[in-house]
Chain A
Amino acid sequence: MADTAVPAPAPSLLTRTRLRMPWLVVLAVAWIVLMVLTAIFADWLRPHDITRMNLSVRLAPLGTPGHWLGTDELGRDVLSRLIQSIRVSLVIAFGSTILSAAFGTTLGFLAAQFRGWVEHLVMALADFQAALPFMIMSLAVLAFFGSSMVLLVCLMGFYGWERYARIARGLAISASAQGYAAAVVQLGAKPSRVYLRHILPNVASTLIVSTTLTFPEIILMESGLSFLGLGVQPPESSLGNMVGFGREYLTRAPWIMLAPSAVIVMTTLSISLLGDWLRDRLDPTIR
Chain B
Amino acid sequence: MSPLLEARGLVQQYTSGKSLFGKPDIVRAVDGIDLTVTRGEVLGIVGESGSGKSTLGRMLLGLETPFSGEVLYHGQPMPAPRTEQWRRLRAQMQLIFQDPLAALDRRMTIAAQIAEPLEIHGLAKGAEVTDRVAALMARVGLRRDQADRYPHELSGGQRQRVVIARALATNPGFLVCDEPVSALDVSIQAQVVNLLRDLQEQDGLTMVFISHDLKVVRNICDRVAVMYLGRVVEEAPSDSIFAEPRHPYTQALVSSIPLAGQGLEGRIILRGEPPNPAARPSGCAFHPRCRFADASCTVQVPPLENHGGRLAACLKLPRAPRLAA
- B121:A188 contact, CB within 8 angstroms: yes
Name the contact of B106 in the complex, choosing from A185, A189, A202 (C-beta under 8 A): A202
Q: Range of interface residues on chain B? A: 20 to 34
B281 CB to nearest A CB, Å: 31
- B95:A284 contact, CB within 8 angstroms: no
Name the contact of A179 in the complex, choosing from B82, B91, B103, B120 (C-beta under 8 A): B103
Does A178 make an interface contact (CB < 8 A)? yes
Does A252 make an interface contact (CB < 8 A)? no
Ranked 4 nearest A-B pairs via Cβ: A188-B90, A179-B102, A183-B103, A180-B105
- B166:A187 contact, CB within 8 angstroms: yes
Name the contact of A180 in the complex, choosing from B88, B106, B150, B152 (C-beta under 8 A): B106
Complex interface residues of chain A between 139 and 189 (CB less than 8 A to chain B): 178-180, 182-189
- B103:A180 contact, CB within 8 angstroms: yes
Chain A residues within 8 Å of B105, by CB: 180, 184, 198, 201-202
Chain A residues within 8 Å of B89, by CB: 188
Find the residue from B63, B94, B116 having the highest chain A CB count within 10 A: B116
Chain A residues within 8 Å of B150, by CB: 284-285
Name the contact of B152 in the complex, choosing from A182, A183, A184, A285 (C-beta under 8 A): A285
Chain A residues within 8 Å of B7, by CB: none
Name the contact of B90 in the complex, choosing from A178, A182, A187, A284 (C-beta under 8 A): A187
Does A190 make an interface contact (CB < 8 A)? yes
- A187:B103 contact, CB within 8 angstroms: no
Complex interface residues of chain A between 233 and 287 (CB less than 8 A to chain B): 283-285
- A202:B107 contact, CB within 8 angstroms: yes
- A188:B120 contact, CB within 8 angstroms: yes
A188-B88, A189-B116, A193-B120 are known contacts. Are A201 and B63 too (CB-CB below 8 A)? no
Does B249 make an interface contact (CB < 8 A)? no
A118 CB to nearest B CB, Å: 15
- B102:A180 contact, CB within 8 angstroms: yes
A259 to B36: give the CA distance in the assembly, Å: 78
- B63:A186 contact, CB within 8 angstroms: yes
A84 CB to nearest B CB, Å: 41
Does B280 make an interface contact (CB < 8 A)? no
Number of interface residues of A (CB under 8 A): 20
Contact digits for B89-100, partner A, Cβ 8 Å, 1 yes 0 no: 111001101010
Chain A residues within 8 Å of B152, by CB: 284-285
A189 to B120: give the CA distance in the assembly, Å: 6
Find the residue from A178, A180, A191, A285 having the highest chain B CB count within 10 A: A180
Residue of B nearest to A113 (CB): B82
Residue of B nearest to A204 (CB): B107
- B116:A178 contact, CB within 8 angstroms: no
Does B322 make an interface contact (CB < 8 A)? no
A187 to B165: give the CA distance in the assembly, Å: 12
A257 CB to nearest B CB, Å: 45
Sample of 22 A–B contacts (CB below 8 Å): A179-B99, A179-B102, A179-B103, A180-B102, A180-B104, A180-B105, A180-B106, A183-B95, A183-B97, A183-B104, A183-B163, A184-B105, A186-B63, A187-B90, A188-B88, A188-B120, A188-B121, A189-B87, A193-B120, A283-B107, A285-B150, A285-B152
A283 to B105: give the CA distance in the assembly, Å: 12
8 more contacts with CB within 8 A, not counting A187-B116, A189-B87, are A178-B102, A184-B105, A186-B63, A188-B90, A188-B117, A201-B107, A284-B106, A285-B150
A74 to B308: give the CA distance in the assembly, Å: 106
Chain A residues within 8 Å of B103, by CB: 179-180, 182-183
A182 to B94: give the CA distance in the assembly, Å: 12
Chain A residues within 8 Å of B99, by CB: 179
Name the contact of A186 in the complex, choosing from B88, B95, B104 (C-beta under 8 A): B95
A202 to B61: give the CA distance in the assembly, Å: 27
Contact digits for B212-242, partner A, Cβ 8 Å, 1 yes 0 no: 0000000000000000000000000000000
Residue of B nearest to A178 (CB): B102
- A184:B116 contact, CB within 8 angstroms: yes
Complex interface residues of chain B between 75 and 132 (CB less than 8 A to chain A): 82, 87-91, 94-95, 97, 99, 102-108, 116-117, 120-121
Residue of B nearest to A201 (CB): B107
Chain A residues within 8 Å of B107, by CB: 201-202, 283-284
A87 to B66: give the CA distance in the assembly, Å: 59
A106 to B99: give the CA distance in the assembly, Å: 30
Find the residue from A182, A185, A188, A193 having the highest chain B CB count within 10 A: A188
A180 to B120: give the CA distance in the assembly, Å: 15
Residue of A nearest to B117 (CB): A187
A2 to B117: give the CA distance in the assembly, Å: 50
Residue of A nearest to B166 (CB): A187
Chain A residues within 8 Å of B97, by CB: 183
B173 CB to nearest A CB, Å: 14
Chain B residues within 8 Å of A284, by CB: 106-107, 150, 152
Chain B residues within 8 Å of A183, by CB: 95, 97, 103-104, 163
A72 CB to nearest B CB, Å: 50
Chain B residues within 8 Å of A285, by CB: 106, 150, 152
A180 to B99: give the CA distance in the assembly, Å: 10
A186 to B103: give the CA distance in the assembly, Å: 10
A183 to B95: give the CA distance in the assembly, Å: 8
B231 CB to nearest A CB, Å: 26
A82 CB to nearest B CB, Å: 41
Residue of A nearest to B121 (CB): A188
Complex interface residues of chain B between 148 and 173 (CB less than 8 A to chain A): 150, 152, 163, 166
Chain A residues within 8 Å of B63, by CB: 186
Chain B residues within 8 Å of A187, by CB: 90, 94, 116-117, 120, 166
